[in-house]
């Protein structure tokens, strides 16, 4: 396993649409492990392959260990919200994730992103969903998710389609964050 560099805005790779994984081989499993290590190292709860400049449809998440700072819920309470029988524990690795359906209820949640570090915003998204993916054991899975996991899945799959959380904001709000962020990052 090795740590990878997480690319930041305005890196054009963040606009790339990732390609489906055709063969799940050692290379893919290594990328997933590297992504997980990189995510933990950056203290994140989710990471998409495009964020380490790999254009494959791979995401990793661990919503069970760290919560968004603005969320005032215990881990126990949060975990109780996840409605699925197949994920008993985090972390989760998803290959070729595909949202099958989104719930009707819309919720606003504070989001951040390792590719736009230091900037958060409240984003409205469906609060539940059904997602299909292949796991690291090559098993096809379909799960229901809500709460933070549902938000995280949508955020990470967006990355695979070249979409950032700030793209869900108004043009004005998006540009304010974008300009501030790239100005700050260019200093380093
Ligand atoms: Ni992100």
Q: Are 145 and 129 in contact (CB under 8 A)?
A: yes
What angle (nearest 5°) sits at the alpha carbon of residue 44, between those of residues 39 and 47? Answer: 55
pLDDT at 64: 74
Output the CA–CA distances (angstroms, integers) from residue 46 to 150, 155, 172, in the order listed.
12, 8, 26
SS3 call for 41 = helix
Number of C-beta neighbours around residue 31 at 10 A: 20
Distance 175 CA to ligand 1 centre (A): 17
pLDDT at 71: 39
pLDDT at 89: 60
Token pair recorded at residue 175: 């540009």
Distance 50 CA to ligand 1 centre (A): 10
Which secondary-structure segment (H or E) carries 47?
A: strand 46-48
Q: Give the closest residue to 41 by CA, choosing from 13, 66, 68.
A: 66
For the chain, list the domains and their CATH numbers.
Answer: 12-186 (3.90.45.10)
Task: List the chain pLDDT tens, one digit each, 188 residues.
Answer: 799 999 999 999 999 999 999 999 999 999 999 999 999 999 999 999 999 999 999 999 998 744 333 334 444 344 444 444 445 467 899 999 999 999 999 999 999 999 999 999 999 999 999 999 999 999 999 988 888 899 999 999 999 999 999 999 999 999 999 999 999 999 86
- Separation CA 117–CA 80 (nearest Å): 29
Q: Are 156 and 89 in contact (CB under 8 A)?
A: no
Distance 166 CA to ligand 1 centre (A): 10
Active site residues: 156
Distance 6 CA to ligand 1 centre (A): 10
Distance 23 CA to ligand 1 centre (A): 25
Buried b (16+ CB within 10 A) or exposed e, 35-45: bbbbbbeeebb
């Amino acid at each position: 396993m090795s740590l990878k560099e997480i690319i930041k805005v305005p890196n054009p790779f963040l606009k790339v649409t990732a390609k489906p994984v055709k063969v799940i081989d050692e290379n893919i499993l290594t990328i997933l492990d590297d992504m997980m290590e990189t995510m933990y190292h950056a203290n994140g709860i989710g990471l998409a392959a495009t964020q380490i400049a790999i254009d494959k449809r791979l995401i990793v998440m661990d919503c069970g260990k760290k919560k968004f700072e603005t969320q005032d819920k215990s881990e126990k309470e949060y975990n109780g919200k996840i409605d699925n029988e197949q994920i008993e524990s985090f972390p989760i690795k998803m290959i070729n994730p595909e949202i099958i359906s989104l719930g009707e209820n819309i919720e606003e949640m504070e989001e951040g992103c390792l590719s736009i570090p230091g900037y958060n915003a409240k984003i409205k998204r469906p609060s539940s969903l059904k997602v299909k993916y292949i796991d690291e054991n090559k098993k096809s899975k379909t799960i229901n998710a809500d709460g933070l996991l549902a938000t995280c899945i949508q955020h990470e799959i967006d990355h695979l389609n070249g979409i950032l959380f700030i793209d869900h904001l108004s043009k004005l709000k998006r540009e304010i964050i974008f300009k501030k962020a790239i100005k700050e990052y260019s200093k380093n």
